[in-house]
Amino acid sequence: MDNQGISQALGLIHPITLSHGLNAEVWDENQKRYIDFVGGIGVLNLGHCHPDIVEAIQKQAGLLTHYAFNAARHQPYLSLMKKLIEFIPMQQPVAGMFTNSGAEATENALKIARINTGRTGVIAFDGGFHGRTLAAVNLNGKTTPYKDGLGTLPGPVYHLPYPSRDNDISAAQAQAALERLFQVEVDVKNIAAIIFEPVLGEGGFQLLDADFAKYLRDFCNKHGILIIIDEIQSGFGRTGQAFAFPYLGIEPDLLLLAKSIAGGMPLGAVIAKKALMDKPIKGALGGTYSGNPIACAAGLATLQVLESTAFQQSSAHYTQQIEMRYQQWKEQALTPWLGKLTGIGAMRGIELQHVEQGPGTDLMGKILQRAREKGLLLMPSGKHKNIIRLLPPLTITAEVLKEGLDILETVLAETREESFFKESA
């Protein structure tokens, strides 16, 4: 494949070149059609080229393509922030800023946490992913490929095991690890924030234990530590509701947003309790492209679609079908490699795990290849890269969803045969 001067350091899951897409379908340069269960890695909860979002982009492009909000305000930024704050289910008054990406949202949240607490330490979790910039990458609960060769990273950062019913790590184990951390490694008074995803994204779609989340909220309140909840992947309907943190029974101090916030346009946000957000001095926050007018217009259209009855019905149908088909596959003993259904609501992963042979890490590549040949694009995740991360648009039609799940069922069933491993090698 001709990479046309592109760095070899960029990873690639599927060796194809796409030309266009619509809702949950994409076509490559040879006009081969694929059902898209990747969705731009969680960016396209509303699908490719949603007509309402395309219309908003086109309209705004004819009015104002860019203005730096630090230089002069523009209406799309003001309108989207007002609507977004109303959309987020937090009880206390909040304020926010827009960023270009999730990683930039993470970086700004760390600045806000340091300024408000006067501390520098951060606690993150194994399996977490918060971005690729230097401070964000140190939060990631995985060394390779993100931290290889980078040397000393901004910190200090401390990692804990992530407790979830999906990985058999209990709330008690994570609590014990937290207690040990403060007994052995760091003074609690040096910790500014604890950051976590309510549902791990790259870590394999694992839901944080709600009891641990409540314990953490009480602990942080007691010790003056801020909670940063990263909903960059789990937000905007991915779990079957607007955001995932209500599943945990707590609210964040700072909330990180991006990915599906604007229907494919580059946009992120930090939303925080107003007192925290207003603490940095004037000029401390901002960015040239942050809150671009076209991206904000797309964000407004996105929120309108998310609040529609049609979207909510489509999302509910998707959730029901995933759960039903998985249960059928278990009852049918479709394949000895079928492990857990991880996650919650519409944010689900399918674990490849054999009772005798362990995680299906090697199997994953063969499944991705075979599914792609049959017209289905899938994405791996998890510590062992053995969890199929299901990220189709939640606007996917019933017919296309069935077609995609039928392909996945066929490929999974083929893993029972020895010939599958030979033919896919």
Side by side, the strands of the sheet bearing 33-36 are 18-22, 25-28, 33-36, 376-377
- One-letter amino acid identity for 92? Q
* Averaged pLDDT for residues 67-72: 96
353, β-bridge pairs: 359
d(CA 411, CA 405): 10
pLDDT, tens digit (0-9, with 9 covering 90-100), for 356-391? 999 999 999 999 999 999 999 999 999 999 999 999
Whether 424 shows a pLDDT value over 60: the answer reads no
* DSSP per residue, 181-209: HHHHT--GGGEEEEEE-SB-TTTTS-BBP
* DSSP per residue, 60-109: HHTT-S---TTTS--HHHHHHHHHHHHHS--SS-EEEEEESSHHHHHHHH
* DSSP per residue, 342-393: EEETTEEEEEEEETTTEE-HHHHHHHHHHHHHTTEE-EEESTTS-EEEE---
Structure tokens at 366: 């063969």
Please say whether the beta carbons of 347 and 388 come within 8 A.
no
The pLDDT, as a whole number, for residue 115 is 98
Which domains are assigned to the chain?
Answer: 52-306 (3.40.640.10), 309-423 (3.90.1150.10)
Please say whether the beta carbons of 271 and 262 come within 8 A.
no
Residue 70 CB coordination number (10 Å): 13
The pLDDT, as a whole number, for residue 291 is 97
pLDDT, tens digit (0-9, with 9 covering 90-100), for 111-168? 999 999 999 999 999 999 999 999 999 999 988 889 998 888 888 999 999 999 999 9
DSSP state of 259: G
The pLDDT, as a whole number, for residue 150 is 86
